[in-house]
Protein backbone atom coordinates (compact mmCIF):
# COMPACT_ATOMS: atom_id res chain seq x y z
CA UNK A 1 0.00 0.00 0.00
CA UNK A 2 2.79 2.47 0.92
CA UNK A 3 4.58 1.69 -2.35
CA UNK A 4 1.37 2.45 -4.29
CA UNK A 5 0.88 5.73 -2.45
CA UNK A 6 4.52 6.67 -3.01
CA UNK A 7 4.25 5.99 -6.73
CA UNK A 8 0.99 7.94 -6.91
CA UNK A 9 2.51 10.96 -5.16
CA UNK A 10 5.55 10.80 -7.42
CA UNK A 11 3.30 10.65 -10.49
CA UNK A 12 1.30 13.66 -9.27
CA UNK A 13 4.51 15.65 -8.71
CA UNK A 14 5.73 14.77 -12.18
CA UNK A 15 2.45 15.84 -13.70
CA UNK A 16 2.58 19.13 -11.81
CA UNK A 17 6.12 19.71 -13.03
CA UNK A 18 5.01 18.96 -16.58
CA UNK A 19 2.05 21.29 -16.17
CA UNK A 20 4.28 24.17 -15.11
CA UNK A 21 7.34 23.71 -17.30
CA UNK A 22 6.28 22.09 -20.55
CA UNK A 23 4.00 24.83 -21.88
CA UNK A 24 5.21 28.32 -22.72
CA UNK A 25 1.62 29.58 -22.53
CA UNK A 26 1.09 28.27 -19.01
CA UNK A 27 4.49 29.54 -17.82
CA UNK A 28 3.87 32.96 -19.29
CA UNK A 29 0.36 33.07 -17.85
CA UNK A 30 1.60 32.35 -14.33
CA UNK A 31 4.27 35.05 -14.66
CA UNK A 32 1.69 37.51 -15.99
CA UNK A 33 -0.83 36.83 -13.24
CA UNK A 34 1.85 37.23 -10.59
CA UNK A 35 1.76 40.93 -11.48
CA UNK A 36 -1.97 41.08 -10.76
CA UNK A 37 -5.37 39.78 -11.92
CA UNK A 38 -6.18 40.03 -15.63
CA UNK A 39 -9.28 39.66 -17.78
CA UNK A 40 -9.26 37.20 -20.66
CA UNK A 41 -8.90 40.10 -23.09
CA UNK A 42 -5.89 41.45 -21.19
CA UNK A 43 -4.32 37.98 -21.09
CA UNK A 44 -4.73 37.55 -24.84
CA UNK A 45 -3.27 40.97 -25.54
CA UNK A 46 -0.33 40.58 -23.16
CA UNK A 47 0.61 37.06 -24.31
CA UNK A 48 -0.36 37.52 -27.99
CA UNK A 49 -2.59 34.44 -27.94
CA UNK A 50 -6.10 33.56 -29.09
CA UNK A 51 -9.02 32.37 -26.96
CA UNK A 52 -8.79 28.79 -28.31
CA UNK A 53 -5.07 28.85 -27.60
CA UNK A 54 -5.17 30.04 -23.98
CA UNK A 55 -8.53 28.94 -22.51
CA UNK A 56 -7.59 25.22 -22.38
CA UNK A 57 -4.37 26.20 -20.56
CA UNK A 58 -6.33 28.29 -18.06
CA UNK A 59 -8.68 25.37 -17.43
CA UNK A 60 -5.75 23.02 -16.74
CA UNK A 61 -4.34 25.47 -14.18
CA UNK A 62 -7.80 25.91 -12.63
CA UNK A 63 -8.13 22.15 -12.22
CA UNK A 64 -4.95 22.11 -10.11
CA UNK A 65 -6.10 25.18 -8.12
CA UNK A 66 -3.21 27.28 -9.44
CA UNK A 67 -5.42 29.85 -11.16
CA UNK A 68 -8.87 30.96 -10.09
CA UNK A 69 -11.57 33.05 -11.79
CA UNK A 70 -13.43 35.77 -9.91
CA UNK A 71 -15.99 37.43 -12.15
CA UNK A 72 -14.16 38.42 -15.30
CA UNK A 73 -10.75 38.36 -13.63
CA UNK A 74 -8.23 35.51 -13.52
CA UNK A 75 -5.76 35.46 -10.64
CA UNK A 76 -3.24 33.20 -8.95
CA UNK A 77 -4.37 31.24 -5.92
CA UNK A 78 -2.20 30.95 -2.80
CA UNK A 79 -0.77 27.76 -4.30
CA UNK A 80 -0.16 29.58 -7.58
CA UNK A 81 1.76 32.37 -5.85
CA UNK A 82 3.81 29.82 -3.91
CA UNK A 83 4.66 27.95 -7.10
CA UNK A 84 5.58 31.18 -8.88
CA UNK A 85 8.11 32.13 -6.19
CA UNK A 86 9.99 28.89 -6.83
CA UNK A 87 9.21 28.46 -10.52
CA UNK A 88 10.29 31.90 -11.73
CA UNK A 89 13.96 31.63 -10.65
CA UNK A 90 14.18 28.25 -12.40
CA UNK A 91 12.62 29.62 -15.59
CA UNK A 92 14.97 32.60 -15.63
CA UNK A 93 18.13 30.61 -14.93
CA UNK A 94 17.24 28.11 -17.67
CA UNK A 95 16.63 31.03 -20.04
CA UNK A 96 19.98 32.65 -19.13
CA UNK A 97 21.86 29.38 -19.63
CA UNK A 98 20.14 28.56 -22.91
CA UNK A 99 20.96 32.00 -24.34
CA UNK A 100 24.55 32.02 -23.06
CA UNK A 101 25.48 28.35 -22.76
CA UNK A 102 28.80 28.54 -24.63
CA UNK A 103 29.78 31.67 -22.71
CA UNK A 104 29.05 30.01 -19.36
CA UNK A 105 30.90 26.84 -20.40
CA UNK A 106 34.05 28.77 -21.32
CA UNK A 107 34.15 31.47 -18.63
CA UNK A 108 34.96 31.34 -14.93
CA UNK A 109 31.93 31.95 -12.72
CA UNK A 110 33.47 30.20 -9.73
CA UNK A 111 34.43 33.65 -8.40
CA UNK A 112 30.77 34.43 -7.68
CA UNK A 113 30.05 33.86 -3.96
CA UNK A 114 27.52 31.18 -3.10
CA UNK A 115 24.79 33.52 -1.86
CA UNK A 116 24.89 35.49 -5.13
CA UNK A 117 25.19 32.39 -7.31
CA UNK A 118 21.83 31.31 -5.85
CA UNK A 119 20.43 34.62 -7.09
CA UNK A 120 21.99 34.35 -10.55
CA UNK A 121 18.53 34.40 -12.14
CA UNK A 122 18.25 38.04 -11.07
CA UNK A 123 20.50 38.99 -13.99
CA UNK A 124 17.22 38.77 -15.89
CA UNK A 125 17.13 39.48 -19.61
CA UNK A 126 20.86 39.94 -19.90
CA UNK A 127 22.38 40.26 -23.34
CA UNK A 128 25.84 39.57 -24.68
CA UNK A 129 27.72 42.63 -25.88
CA UNK A 130 30.58 41.68 -28.18
CA UNK A 131 33.13 44.21 -29.42
CA UNK A 132 34.93 44.16 -32.74
CA UNK A 133 38.67 43.77 -32.51
CA UNK A 134 39.24 47.43 -33.42
CA UNK A 135 36.98 48.49 -30.51
CA UNK A 136 38.69 46.51 -27.76
CA UNK A 137 40.52 49.40 -26.11
CA UNK A 138 37.72 51.96 -26.24
CA UNK A 139 34.44 52.01 -24.25
CA UNK A 140 31.52 50.82 -26.40
CA UNK A 141 28.61 53.09 -27.26
CA UNK A 142 26.02 51.44 -24.98
CA UNK A 143 28.45 51.68 -22.06
CA UNK A 144 29.09 55.38 -22.63
CA UNK A 145 25.43 56.16 -23.23
CA UNK A 146 24.27 54.48 -20.03
CA UNK A 147 27.02 56.01 -17.90
CA UNK A 148 26.22 59.49 -19.21
CA UNK A 149 22.58 59.01 -18.17
CA UNK A 150 23.36 57.63 -14.71
CA UNK A 151 23.22 59.46 -11.39
CA UNK A 152 25.78 57.23 -9.71
CA UNK A 153 28.40 54.79 -10.97
CA UNK A 154 30.11 51.96 -9.12
CA UNK A 155 32.78 49.81 -10.71
CA UNK A 156 35.32 47.09 -10.07
CA UNK A 157 38.19 46.02 -12.31
CA UNK A 158 41.44 44.02 -12.21
CA UNK A 159 42.55 45.36 -15.61
CA UNK A 160 43.72 48.79 -16.75
CA UNK A 161 42.35 50.59 -19.80
CA UNK A 162 44.10 53.84 -20.82
CA UNK A 163 40.78 55.59 -21.54
CA UNK A 164 39.34 55.03 -18.06
CA UNK A 165 41.15 57.59 -15.82
CA UNK A 166 40.04 60.58 -17.90
CA UNK A 167 36.61 59.07 -18.59
CA UNK A 168 35.78 58.56 -14.91
CA UNK A 169 37.22 61.96 -14.03
CA UNK A 170 34.94 63.59 -16.60
CA UNK A 171 31.93 61.71 -15.21
CA UNK A 172 32.79 62.77 -11.66
CA UNK A 173 33.27 66.40 -12.73
CA UNK A 174 29.78 66.33 -14.24
CA UNK A 175 28.42 65.71 -10.73
CA UNK A 176 27.93 61.94 -10.77
CA UNK A 177 28.84 59.93 -7.69
CA UNK A 178 31.67 57.55 -8.65
CA UNK A 179 32.98 54.68 -6.54
CA UNK A 180 35.66 52.30 -7.83
CA UNK A 181 37.18 49.09 -6.47
CA UNK A 182 40.60 48.42 -8.04
CA UNK A 183 43.47 46.02 -7.58
CA UNK A 184 46.68 47.44 -6.17
CA UNK A 185 48.41 47.00 -9.55
CA UNK A 186 45.69 48.88 -11.46
CA UNK A 187 45.71 51.75 -8.98
CA UNK A 188 49.51 52.03 -9.04
CA UNK A 189 49.54 52.17 -12.83
CA UNK A 190 46.80 54.81 -12.93
CA UNK A 191 48.58 56.83 -10.25
CA UNK A 192 51.91 56.62 -12.09
CA UNK A 193 50.74 57.23 -15.67
CA UNK A 194 47.81 59.57 -14.98
CA UNK A 195 48.98 61.37 -11.85
CA UNK A 196 47.16 64.64 -12.49
CA UNK A 197 43.85 62.95 -13.32
CA UNK A 198 44.02 60.69 -10.26
CA UNK A 199 44.89 63.56 -7.92
CA UNK A 200 42.07 65.70 -9.29
CA UNK A 201 39.72 62.73 -9.03
CA UNK A 202 40.59 62.05 -5.39
CA UNK A 203 40.13 65.71 -4.43
CA UNK A 204 36.46 65.60 -5.42
CA UNK A 205 33.84 65.03 -2.71
CA UNK A 206 31.68 62.75 -4.87
CA UNK A 207 34.28 60.03 -5.55
CA UNK A 208 35.78 57.07 -3.71
CA UNK A 209 38.52 54.60 -4.63
CA UNK A 210 38.99 51.31 -2.81
CA UNK A 211 41.77 48.74 -3.16
CA UNK A 212 40.66 45.11 -3.11
CA UNK A 213 42.91 43.03 -0.89
CA UNK A 214 42.61 39.74 -2.79
CA UNK A 215 42.73 38.58 -6.39
CA UNK A 216 39.95 39.92 -8.63
CA UNK A 217 38.66 37.72 -11.46
CA UNK A 218 36.05 39.93 -13.13
CA UNK A 219 35.15 43.52 -14.01
CA UNK A 220 31.77 45.05 -13.31
CA UNK A 221 29.96 48.35 -13.69
CA UNK A 222 26.71 49.09 -11.83
CA UNK A 223 24.71 52.30 -12.05
CA UNK A 224 21.16 53.26 -11.13
CA UNK A 225 20.08 52.14 -14.64
CA UNK A 226 22.77 49.78 -16.00
CA UNK A 227 24.65 46.58 -15.17
CA UNK A 228 27.63 45.05 -16.94
CA UNK A 229 30.00 42.22 -15.98
CA UNK A 230 33.10 40.94 -17.78
CA UNK A 231 34.60 37.57 -16.86
CA UNK A 232 37.84 35.71 -17.26
CA UNK A 233 38.09 32.60 -19.42
CA UNK A 234 38.49 29.33 -17.56
CA UNK A 235 42.07 29.16 -18.86
CA UNK A 236 42.85 32.37 -16.92
CA UNK A 237 42.74 34.94 -19.72
CA UNK A 238 40.62 38.08 -19.46
CA UNK A 239 37.84 38.36 -22.06
CA UNK A 240 38.32 41.88 -23.43
CA UNK A 241 35.79 41.27 -26.19
CA UNK A 242 32.58 40.19 -24.43
CA UNK A 243 30.53 41.32 -21.46
CA UNK A 244 27.08 40.62 -20.08
CA UNK A 245 24.77 43.61 -20.00
CA UNK A 246 21.38 44.05 -18.33
CA UNK A 247 19.07 46.97 -17.67
CA UNK A 248 16.84 44.98 -15.30
CA UNK A 249 16.45 46.48 -11.78
CA UNK A 250 17.05 42.99 -10.36
CA UNK A 251 20.45 42.81 -12.11
CA UNK A 252 21.37 46.24 -10.73
CA UNK A 253 20.41 45.05 -7.24
CA UNK A 254 22.48 41.87 -7.73
CA UNK A 255 25.48 43.90 -8.85
CA UNK A 256 25.12 46.32 -5.94
CA UNK A 257 25.17 43.41 -3.49
CA UNK A 258 28.26 41.99 -5.22
CA UNK A 259 30.02 45.32 -4.70
CA UNK A 260 29.02 45.36 -1.02
CA UNK A 261 30.51 41.86 -0.70
CA UNK A 262 33.81 43.04 -2.22
CA UNK A 263 33.97 46.11 0.03
CA UNK A 264 34.22 43.86 3.08
CA UNK A 265 37.72 42.94 1.89
CA UNK A 266 38.80 46.34 0.57
CA UNK A 267 40.38 49.45 2.00
CA UNK A 268 39.79 53.06 0.99
CA UNK A 269 42.50 55.13 -0.65
Check residue 146 and give its pLDDT. Answer: 82
- Measured over the CA atoms of residue 147, residue 246, residue 113 and residue 89, the dihedral's sign is positive
pLDDT value, residue 8: 43
Kindly state whether residue 72 falls inside one of the protein's structural domains: yes
- Are 143 and 165 members of one domain? yes
State residue 180's pLDDT score: 97
Whether 164 has a pLDDT exceeding 50, the answer reads yes
* Mean pLDDT, rounded, for 247-256: 95
Q: What percent of the chain has pLDDT over 90?
A: 70
- Of the residues 89, 111, 134, the one at which a domain ends: 89
Query: What is the domain extent for residue 31?
Result: 2-89
Residues 81 and 143 in one domain: no
Q: Identify the domain boundary among 41, 63, 89.
A: 89
Q: Phi first, then psi: give them for residue 251, nearest 5 degrees.
A: -70, -40
> Are residues 166 and 119 both part of a single domain?
yes
Are 122 and 227 in the same domain? yes
Q: Give 179's strand partners.
A: 154, 208
**Burial of 137: CB neighbours in 10 Å, binned 0-12, 13-18, 19+:** exposed
48 phi-psi bin (left φ>0, alpha ψ -120 to 50, beta other): left
Q: Are residues 110 and 233 in the same domain?
A: yes
Q: Are residues 40 and 69 in the same domain?
A: yes
Pick from 167, 159, 158, 112: which is nearest to 139 by CA?
167
pLDDT at 134 over 60: no
CA distance 92 to 107: 19
132 and 219 co-located in one domain: yes
Name the domain boundary from 38, 61, 89.
Answer: 89
Indicate whether 27 belongs to any domain.
yes
Q: What is the CATH number of the domain that holds 232?
A: 3.30.870.10
Provide DSSP, the chain.
Answer: -HHHHHHHHHHHHHHHHHHHHS-HHHHHHHHHHHT--EEHHHHHHHHT--HHHHHHHHHHHHHTTSEEEETTEEEE-HHHHHHHHHHHHHHHHHHHHHHSHHHHHHB--TTS-HHHHTTGGGG-S-EEEE--GGGTTS--HHHHHHHHT-SEEEEEESS--TTHHHHHHHHHHTT-EEEEEE-HHHHHHHHHHSHHHHHHHHTSTTEEEEEESS---EEEEEESS-EEEEEBBTTS-B-SSEEEEE--HHHHHHHHHHHHHHHTTEEE-
Both 147 and 117 in one domain: the answer is yes
Q: Is residue 111 located within the same domain as residue 230?
A: yes
What percentage of the chain carries pLDDT values higher than 70?
91
Instruction: Please say whether the beta carbons of 168 and 201 come within 8 A.
Output: yes
Q: How many domains is the chain built from? A: 2
pLDDT mean over 148-168: 92
- Examine residue 95 and state whether it is found in any structural domain, yes or no: no
In a domain, 94, yes or no: no
Average pLDDT for residues 84-101, to the nearest whole number?
88
Residues 66 and 189 in one domain: no
Both 85 and 111 in one domain: the answer is no
The arithmetic mean of pLDDT across residues 188-206, rounded, is: 94
Can you give the pLDDT at residue 148? 85
What per-residue confidence (pLDDT) applies to 142?
A: 65
CATH of the domain at 77: 1.10.10.10
176 and 116 in a common domain: yes
Mean pLDDT of the chain, nearest integer: 89
Amino acid sequence: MSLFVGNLESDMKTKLLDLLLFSEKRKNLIILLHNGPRTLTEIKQSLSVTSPGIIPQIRMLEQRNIVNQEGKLYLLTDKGRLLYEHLYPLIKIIDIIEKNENFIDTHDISIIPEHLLKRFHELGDCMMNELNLEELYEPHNLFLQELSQSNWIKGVTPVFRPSWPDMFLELALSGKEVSLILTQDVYKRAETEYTNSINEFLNLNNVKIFIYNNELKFSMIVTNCYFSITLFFKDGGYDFQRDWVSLDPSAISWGTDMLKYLLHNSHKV
